[in-house]
Structure 1
């Protein structure tokens, strides 16, 4: 086997959740080149990954016409892949799969009208998302065995993160917690006021704690609402700009804990080896890596998990609103104590 193509276009967290599959493919077929087709915004998650030979980055700005788009897919497909793994079955993936002429074309169980594209398909196993993804590889004799997502940082990136944190006021003896209070879906976003209260309670309990809020494009106001709601703003290390994904990851690698919603940063934390505490609303435990250092908390309503983008409960967003900062803080501090031993 010479070349394998893995198609995982988006989102950022999902690309990270594909890295165990990349590692497994590289381990089982060490002489094969593992290529990845993904969107350009997700490429930082693959930078420096020793399992990845080539990243084919889709940039929608560069593919302004159907002719350019087809030409790009043709160039990827005609590289000469023996195996193509399609984790998403999106239209752009299907173009490449159809053009590839690969001897083996794998995916999860497709709709009847897409079955002609694939030689093998698998009903994904239930459980952790990265495991479910990796189960698509089983026709190749590849099985997931607890591999976690991985993001590879350079020494230069780690040094830059330490310098940034020091410039924001993190001193020796203080312990950093990164905080991700944002999400574009309300059903996955614990209220900003709750996060503010959580920081206040945690800081009062342990004066050594410092908190670094994380935010992406258009989310700075959401983060500032959290800071405004807490009574310890001097313990919040607020960057004066949005960090790049890899800067964020390097800062998270310096933290004793990551706390946040079910979003890409919780997967980044797992990938850099930082313990996590995730507040859950609509999503299930399938998004948490199955290890003691990665904890998730949910209110446990009958309607959870619903996996919906809009709340159908008459008591709107009860799963999040009624999950109190006091209960979350107690559980978070207990988890922090456990992972600090």
Structure 2
């Protein structure tokens, strides 16, 4: 075994959820190079990962023509892989799988018209998403044994995060909670007004708490709506610009708790070892790492989890709207107390 290619193009959280598989492959085949094919926006999640030898980054702007795309996929495929693992079966992945001469080509159970691409396939195990991905590796004799996602930060990145937080007003003795109130899908986004009320209630109960809202491209207005609904804006550490993914991860690393919707930042928190409290709407517990320090709260309606992007319930978004800030605050502070012992 000389080289292994893992294809996981997107999204940011899904690339993190693939890192346990990368760790397992590196551990079981220590003399093999583990390569990853992903989109350029996701590469920060793999930076510094000791299990990864090479990252092949797809930049859609650079690959502006079909000829350039095919040339890139050909160059990746002909690197000489003994094993190719495809976690997605997206068109770009299929190009590389088809061009490779790997003797072993693994994936989840494909549609009949894709079966010619693969030598082995697996019906993923039910449960935690990273475990489901890792189950694709079982034909290699590799099994998931509780490995969590991992994101590797440098000491310089941690120092920079401490400096940023201090500049925003975080003082000694104060405890940071990072907050992710955004999501591109409305069925996974707890209302901004609820988040504002949650911060107000938590600050009144525990004066040591400070809150740092996180946001990505085009989400700043959503975060400002949360701050506007909060009675204690002086306790909100609002950066004046969008943080990079690595800066965000380093700030989450400094927090005592990460609170938010089910999206990439909650997976980043797991990957840097910060406890999480995630508010679930349409999503299931399969996205939650199975450990006591990572807690998901849901209203528990009969229609949950629906995993839909649009709400089919006549009482629109009831699973989110009816989950009150008061109930969430009590559960969140109880969880914080438990993980702080």
Q: TM-score range by the shorter chain?
A: over 0.9
Aligned length: 341
Deviation at 1:123, TM superposition (A): 0.1
SS in 2 for 1:5: strand
1:148-191 deviations in whole A, cap 9, x for unaligned? 00000000000000000000000000000000000000000000
SS of the residue 2:60 aligns to: coil
Work out the CA distance in 1 between the residues paired with 2:162 and 2:92. 39
CA drift of 1:282 comes to 0.1
- Distance in 1 (alpha carbons) for counterparts of 2:217 and 2:91: 26
| Cα distance, 1:288 vs structure 2 | 0.2
**Structure 1 residue 336 displacement after superposition:** 0.1
TM-score (norm 2): 1.00
5 Å-filtered alignment, 1:286-297, equals 286-297=286-297
Q: CA deviation at 1:101?
A: 1.2
DSSP 3-state at the match of 2:203: helix
Gaps of 5+ in 1: none
Q: Distance in 2 between matches of 1:166 and 1:73?
A: 45
Query: Which runs of no fewer than 5 residues in structure 2 stay unpaired?
Result: none
Q: Give CA deviations for 1:49-82 in whole Å, capped at 9, x if unaligned.
A: 0000000000000111100000000000000000
Give the distance between the partners of 1:94 and 1:334, measured in 2 at CA: 47
4+ residue segments displaced more than 2 Å: none
Cα separation, 1, equivalents of 2:331 and 2:234: 24
Counterparts of 1:60 and 1:172 in 2: how far apart (Å)? 44
What TM-score, normalized by structure 1, do the two folds share?
1.00
Query: Secondary structure of 1:252's match?
Result: helix
Q: Distance in 2 between matches of 1:129 and 1:34?
A: 21
3-state SS of the aligned residue for 1:304? Answer: coil
SS in 2 for 1:320: helix
Following superposition, the deviation at residue 86 of structure 1 comes to 0.0
The equivalent of 1:155 in structure 2 is 155
Q: Distance in 2 between matches of 1:172 and 1:138?
A: 48
For residues 66 and 247 of structure 2, the distance between their equivalents in structure 1, rounded to whole angstroms, comes to 35
CA-CA distance at 1:256 after TM superposition: 0.1
* CA–CA distance in structure 2, aligned partners of residues 261 and 215 of structure 1: 12
- Distance in 2 between the 1:199 and 1:184 partners? 22
- State the distance in 1 between where 2:156 and 2:331 align: 35
RMSD in angstroms over aligned alpha carbons?
0.2
Q: Cα deviations across residues 124-148 of structure 1 (Å, max 9, x unaligned)?
A: 0000000000000000000000000
